[in-house]
């Protein structure tokens, strides 16, 4: 059934600030546990990168297996630039400059930057995808250096322009290679079509119409060909993301992976990357509300049918209707690239709709799937983070000692940082709560381990403050200097007043534990945090069956927060629950003390012997 188009009030200026200004954290400086994790990730992963190693493929140009080595540098630049600004790291600053020198030295007279030999370019595999990330990296560098080193910034922007013009000449309208852009690469054109996003970034910075014309050509390929990505019409027909896989194909395909990789439409990461580009495009051209509506429908479908209790999604990086299957041991759950891209997608939607539900989604994913994928010392990201099993090291991609998730992972923290507090000079919007210094305010909190947040004004004058009230917090208390402020779940509480230095906002959230049931299984959450059993907690078999009595609402009242048994566990909880299949304990008359921790801490040893679990089977009579 067709859905009616919804017109949105979109603030183009705000979007342009984001696109033109790079990653501006609005003066946010994280403190406490999150600040320490961010600092260690920057120091031990982002700043520790071997720049010679990740740029060497561009100089060699020997890729003949159609792999994706050239995505690593651009992804790294996306996080390296804002983190260099944030941390003031001289080491990271020098690495960025040096890496760009290497990339620029690899550019051919034709404008090409990549690692494919001439005869294989702009065809199968991930060449165009790699050029997308190279363009992103160069644009991030331009934004970073345009005020401090304008000559170097101009060289980077000129290189990006030449690379984009190479794409236009090769696979643009009437391109030399005689093939449309959407027909190159993988996943029915998703991978190559996602280059739309940096093409729009380039247009914002140059105002040269040829780049907008190229973007229009890319959008046409995304939505018109019957066997192409079809990112708009299928969404407007109400077809969910996992049901689009082979929709409309006329051939009789085999189940060979090579066929699926070429013509499938379930690839989560690449699909969401395309929608990010479509949103950028719709923000610039007029009278294209259907592009935004298609993105919103797809995001809502992901929330309803794909996301699991930890805010993660996808199996083997593909949509699979995971919301109803999350209790089952599917293969390769929650790839970190998918997790990071989902957060970036939600960030775009939050910016254009001002709907706090998208902040709710970022928060849920950040505190669970995302932090769960980051090793406690900050050195690496897991490739996959299942809901039951063990955390473990990433894969080695393309005969290199790195992978897409370690390149992509640091970008996820940016989504959280950018939206802690958005201050436009007239109002400050707090979406996330953590100990931090922000423009005009100081925030102290142990949230989500504790329910209390204290925000102190460091500014004077008339100003609007908006506080996100999470949809899961049924009873939220907000006070300003002791005066109560109305707060409704799933909305922004608005405070307009003449602020004085030292004015205090106090927020208390409703962090009651809630149970969730699915196909004879049970799981628990506390606020935005999913709970897990971990064998480090030493309370018995973490996979044992829960008794039917555990479904009683009274059971939830037994959950109590306790001191974590070790520093690598953030939150710990004890509950008196009826578990086990012992016939000497009919109807759960005798209960056991069961220990839980936050999902992000579960499996924190990154060892096969450190087993954890989120969903638990309930006995059947």
* Per-position DSSP letters for 460-509, written without gaps between them: -EEEEEEEEE-TT-SS-EEEETTEEE---TTEEEEEEEEE-TT-EEEEE-
Distance CA 57, CA 39 (A): 29
Residue 18 has pLDDT above 50, yes or no: no
* Residue 440 DSSP symbol: T
Report how far residue 60's alpha carbon sits from residue 148's, in angstroms, rounded to the nearest whole number. Answer: 31
Per-residue pLDDT at 332:
92
Q: Could you say which of 3.30.470.10, 1.50.10.10, 3.50.50.60, 3.40.50.10860 is the CATH number of the domain covering 12-422? A: 1.50.10.10
State pLDDT tens for residues 198-232: 999 999 999 999 999 999 999 999 999 999 999 99
Dist CA 577 CA 588 (whole Å): 8
Res 524: pLDDT: 96
Show the DSSP H helices in 172-330 as ranges.
190-193, 196-206, 209-223, 233-236, 257-263, 268-282, 289-305
pLDDT at residue 585 in the model: 61
Query: Is residue 41 classed as helix, strand or coil in its secondary structure?
Result: helix
Strands 491-499, 513-518: pairing is unpaired
Other residues' Cβ atoms within 10 Å of the Cβ of residue 233:
16
CB 380 within 8 A of CB 358: no
Per-residue pLDDT at 13: 33
pLDDT digits (tens, 9 = 90+) for 396-430: 888 888 889 999 999 999 999 999 999 888 899 99
52-77 burial code (b ≥16 CB/10 A, e <16): eebbbbbeebebeeebbbbbbbbbbb
Question: What is the mean predicted confidence (pLDDT) over 140-149?
Answer: 96
Is the pLDDT higher at 556 or at 583? 556
Give dist(CA 489, CA 144) in Å, integer: 39
Nearest CA-CA partner of 520 in 328, 247, 240: 328
Kindly indicate the confidence band of residue 104, based on its pLDDT and cuts at 50, 70 and 90.
very high
Q: Please tell me the least confidently modeled range out of 23-37, 356-370, 459-473, 495-509.
A: 23-37
Cα gap 33→569, rounded to integer Å = 11
Q: What is the pTM of this model?
A: 0.94
Q: Which residue has the tokens 């996992």?
A: 242
Enumerate the β-bridge partners of residue 29: 437
CA–CA distances in Å: residue 159 to residues 82, 139, 430, 617? 21, 10, 38, 56
Q: What is the pLDDT of residues 48-69, one digit of tens each?
A: 999 999 999 999 999 999 999 9
pLDDT band at 12 (very low <50, low <70, confident <90, very high): very low
- Would you say 61 and 114 are in contact if contact means Cβ atoms under 8 Å apart? yes
Rama region for 77: left / alpha / beta (φ>0; ψ in -120 to 50; rest): alpha
Q: Which residue has the tokens 């494919």?
A: 116
The pLDDT score that the predictor gives to residue 57 is 96
3-state secondary structure of 3: coil
> Is the predicted pLDDT of residue 559 greater than 60, yes or no?
yes
pLDDT at 577: 86
* Residue 520 CB neighbours (<10 A): 12
pLDDT number for residue 255: 61
* Residue 8 scores a pLDDT above 50: no
CA dihedral 470, 471, 476, 478 (to 10 degrees): 50
Mean pLDDT of the chain: 91
Nearest Cα to Cα of residue 169 among 161, 159, 177: 177
Question: How confident is the model at residue 16, as a pLDDT?
Answer: 38
Q: What is the reported pLDDT for 17?
A: 36
Q: Are residues 524 and 559 in contact, defined by beta-carbon separation less than 8 angstroms?
A: yes
Q: Report the percentage of the chain scoring pLDDT > 70.
A: 92
225-264: pLDDT as tens digits: 999 999 999 999 999 999 998 887 776 656 666 777 788 8
473: pLDDT strictly greater than 50: yes
Model confidence at 561, pLDDT cuts 50, 70, 90, reads very high
- Interval 316-335 mean pLDDT: 95
Distance CA 436, CA 7 (A): 36
Any idea where the domains of the chain sit in the sequence? 12-422, 513-617
Cα–Cα distance for residue pair 515/309, rounded to 1 Å: 11
């Amino acid at each position: 059934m067709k859905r009616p188009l919804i017109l949105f009030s979109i603030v183009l200026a705000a979007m342009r600030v984001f696109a033109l200004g790079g990653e501006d954290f609005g003066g946010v400086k994280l403190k406490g546990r999150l600040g320490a994790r961010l600092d260690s990730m920057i120091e031990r992963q982002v700043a520790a990168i071997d720049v010679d190693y990740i740029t060497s493929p561009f100089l060699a140009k020997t890729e003949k297996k159609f792999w994706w080595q050239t995505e690593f540098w651009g992804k790294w630049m996306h996080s390296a630039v804002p983190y260099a600004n944030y941390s003031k790291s001289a080491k990271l600053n020098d690495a960025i400059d040096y890496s760009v020198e290497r990339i620029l030295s690899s550019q051919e007279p034709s404008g090409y930057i990549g690692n494919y030999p001439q005869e294989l370019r702009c065809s199968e595999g991930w060449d165009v995808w790699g050029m997308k990330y190279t363009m992103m990296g160069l644009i991030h560098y331009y934004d970073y250096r345009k005020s401090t080193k304008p000559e170097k910034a101009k060289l980077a922007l000129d290189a990006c322009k030449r690379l984009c013009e190479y794409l236009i000449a090769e696979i643009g309208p009437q391109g030399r290679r005689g093939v449309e852009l959407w027909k190159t690469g993988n996943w029915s054109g998703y991978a190559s079509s996602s280059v739309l996003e940096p093409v729009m970034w380039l247009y914002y910075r140059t105002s040269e119409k040829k780049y907008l014309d190229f973007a229009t050509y890319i959008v046409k390929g995304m939505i018109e060909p019957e066997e192409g990505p079809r990112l708009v019409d299928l969404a407007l027909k109400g077809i969910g993301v996992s049901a689009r896989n082979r929709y409309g194909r006329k051939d009789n395909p085999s189940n060979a992976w090579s066929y699926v990789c070429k013509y499938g439409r379930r690839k989560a990461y690449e699909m969401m990357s395309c929608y990010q580009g479509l949103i950028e495009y719709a923000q610039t051209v007029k009278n294209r509300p259907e592009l935004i509506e298609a993105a919103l429908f797809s995001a809502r479908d992901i929330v309803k049918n794909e996301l699991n209790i930890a805010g993660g999604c996808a199996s083997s990086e593909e949509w699979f209707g995971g919301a109803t299957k999350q209790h089952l041991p599917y293969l390769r759950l929650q790839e970190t690239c998918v997790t990071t891209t989902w957060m970036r997608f939600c960030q775009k939607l939050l910016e254009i709709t001002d709907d706090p539900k998208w902040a709710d989604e970022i928060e849920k994913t950040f505190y669970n799937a995302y932090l769960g994928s980051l090793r406690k010392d900050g050195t690496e990201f897991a490739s996959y983070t299942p809901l039951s099993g063990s955390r473990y090291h990433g894969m080695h991609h393309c005969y290199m000692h790195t992978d897409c998730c370690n390149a992509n992972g640091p970008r996820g923290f940016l989504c959280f940082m950018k939206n802690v507090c958005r201050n436009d000079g007239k109002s400050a919007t707090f979406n996330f709560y953590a100990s931090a210094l922000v423009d005009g305010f100081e925030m102290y909190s142990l949230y989500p381990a504790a329910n209390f947040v204290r925000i102190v004004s460091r500014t004077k004058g008339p100003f609007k403050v908006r506080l996100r009230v999470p949809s899961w917090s049924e009873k939220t208390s907000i006070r300003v200097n002791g005066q109560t402020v109305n707060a409704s779940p799933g909305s922004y509480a608005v405070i307009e007043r003449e602020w004085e230095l030292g004015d205090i906002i106090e927020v208390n959230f409703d962090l009651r534990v809630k149970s969730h049931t699915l196909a004879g299984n049970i799981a628990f959450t506390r606020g935005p945090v999913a709970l897990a059993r971990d064998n480090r907690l030493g309370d018995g078999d973490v996979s044992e069956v829960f008794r039917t009595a555990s479904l009683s609402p009274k059971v939830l009242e037994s959950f109590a927060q306790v001191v974590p048994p070790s520093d690598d566990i953030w939150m710990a909880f004890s509950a008196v629950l009826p578990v086990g299949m012992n016939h000497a304990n009919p109807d759960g008359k005798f209960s056991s003390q069961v220990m839980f921790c936050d999902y992000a801490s579960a499996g924190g040893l990154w060892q096969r012997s450190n087993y954890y679990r989120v969903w638990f089977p309930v006995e059947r009579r």
